[in-house]
């Protein structure tokens, strides 16, 4: 295949696509708005699943590199009630199929597997337009342009490529997450560190919940979920760390101190992240010369699958293009026909919504038990 592929976005999905194309000798350029690989923090832990994310890494021929960045023991899981009672304490026995890595480390593995000039940094897209016959023009914020016969939008929730295919836009799901970090947790935040344990903590409650991970360097990274309209959060000054953490902690009045310490003990200014989603089952009619992957295609409420799906999208699109080097449209159609139902199915999460009466520690454990029984009873 000699038609160069133009990818917008150097996230995990876009980079996985670029790597698979590179493995198959297909020319590719990635344009990224960020000024450099280190322009911003890359988020926390990701569990990379053996049924999607790891399949993508195998297609990219990067499993050996992946194993070097896995954080041992982080598949451990604890479920706590609001009063701090531990209702589930599952150790990481190495058989879970969902090893944890730092998102930034995984991105660096992908970047390191590509020629240095593959990613063009500091290229923020301002608009895209169709030129006809499958060709598209991309205009950047600095006024520069590029014309391509194969454009892939891997540019996330607010994709500038999506309007070429769809009028859908993300909508607020009624929930936001406040992120906090506690550093050197064993020494400086021992109660919170003990509550989290060696891997992941879940403390659910209707309308309020706390998730936390133990990351590298004894860092606790917490995600404090609250079901409130955006106006409610707008009334909080998140630039004032003390005021913001106190206001959020107020919503967890009566919870165990070791859990609220994940809010009040934050060593950084808390970060507000409103959550958005595209309509479940979002799809489009085939448009020559352009497609989407990852959040640009199927942004959903967080369910542990987003990064994995983006990587699998990238791997399958790259594989399809390699399999049909003389027929781009067949490759794109084949990719989309598999991607649409997969993303729709994954968006239908078994986890109870934050406002559900079942969003409790006991309810979560009951769901785990029922799911385990279904798997055990399923015919081979």
Parallel/antiparallel/unpaired status of strands 28-31 and 145-148: unpaired
Give burial (CB, 10 Å; 0-12/13-18/19+) of 174.
Answer: middle
40 labelled binding-site residue: yes
Nearest CA-CA partner of 105 in 211, 27, 203, 215: 215
For residue 20, give every residue at least 6 positions away whose Cβ sits within 8 Å of its Cβ, in sequence order, or none. 59, 60, 314, 315, 317, 318, 319, 322
188 labelled binding-site residue: no
Distance CA 66, CA 371 (A): 29
47 labelled binding-site residue: yes
Distance CA 327, CA 317 (A): 13
> Phi first, then psi: what are they for 339, rounded to 5°?
-70, -40
Distance CA 127, CA 134 (A): 17
**8 A C-beta contact, residue 49 and residue 308:** yes
Q: Return the CA Rg of the chain.
A: 21
Strand segments, DSSP code E, in 144-296 are: 145-148, 151-153, 171-182, 200-205, 208-214, 220-226, 271-277, 290-292
What would the two tokens of residue 231 be? 């106006």
| Residue positions forming the annotated binding site for FAD | 47, 103, 295
| Residue positions forming the annotated binding site | 40, 47, 103, 295
| Residue positions forming the annotated binding site for NADPH | 40
């Amino acid at each position: 295949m000699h038609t160069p592929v133009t990818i917008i976005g150097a996230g995990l999905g876009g980079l996985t696509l670029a790597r698979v194309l590179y493995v198959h000798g297909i020319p590719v350029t990635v344009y990224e708005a960020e000024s450099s690989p280190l322009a911003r923090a890359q988020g926390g832990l990701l569990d990379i699943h053996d049924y999607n994310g790891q399949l993508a890494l195998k297609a990219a021929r990067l499993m050996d590199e992946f194993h070097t960045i896995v954080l041992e023991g982080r598949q451990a899981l604890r479920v706590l009630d609001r009063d701090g009672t531990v209702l589930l304490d599952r150790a990481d026995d190495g058989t879970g199929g969902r090893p944890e890595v730092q998102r930034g480390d995984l991105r660096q593995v992908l970047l390191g597997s590509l020629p240095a000039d593959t990613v063009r940094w500091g290229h923020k897209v301002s608009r895209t337009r169709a030129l006809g016959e499958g060709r598209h023009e991309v205009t950047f914020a600095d006024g520069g342009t590029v014309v391509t016969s194969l454009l892939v939008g891997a540019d996330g929730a607010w994709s500038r490529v999506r309007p070429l295919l769809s009028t859908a836009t993300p909508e607020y799901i009624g929930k936001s997450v406040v992120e906090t970090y506690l550093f050197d947790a064993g020494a400086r935040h021992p109660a919170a560190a003990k509550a989290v344990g060696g891997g992941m903590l879940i403390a659910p409650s209707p309308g309020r919940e706390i998730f936390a991970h133990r990351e590298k360097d004894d860092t606790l990274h917490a995600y404090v979920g609250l079901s409130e309209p955006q106006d409610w959060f707008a009334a909080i000054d998140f630039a004032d760390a003390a005021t913001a953490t106190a206001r959020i902690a107020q919503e967890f009045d009566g919870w165990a101190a070791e859990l609220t310490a994940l809010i009040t003990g934050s060593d950084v200014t808390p970060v507000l992240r409103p959550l958005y989603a595209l309509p479940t089952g979002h799809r489009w009619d085939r448009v020559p010369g352009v497609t989407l992957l990852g959040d640009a295609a199927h942004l959903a409420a967080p369910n542990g699958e987003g990064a994995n799906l983006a990587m699998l999208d990238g791997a399958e699109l790259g594989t399809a293009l390699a399999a049909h080097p003389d027929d781009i449209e067949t490759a794109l159609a084949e990719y989309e026909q598999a991607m649409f139902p997969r993303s729709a199915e994954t968006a239908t999460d078994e986890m109870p919504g934050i406002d559900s009466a079942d969003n409790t520690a006991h309810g979560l454990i009951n769901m785990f038990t029922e799911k385990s029984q279904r798997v055990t009873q399923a015919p081979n």
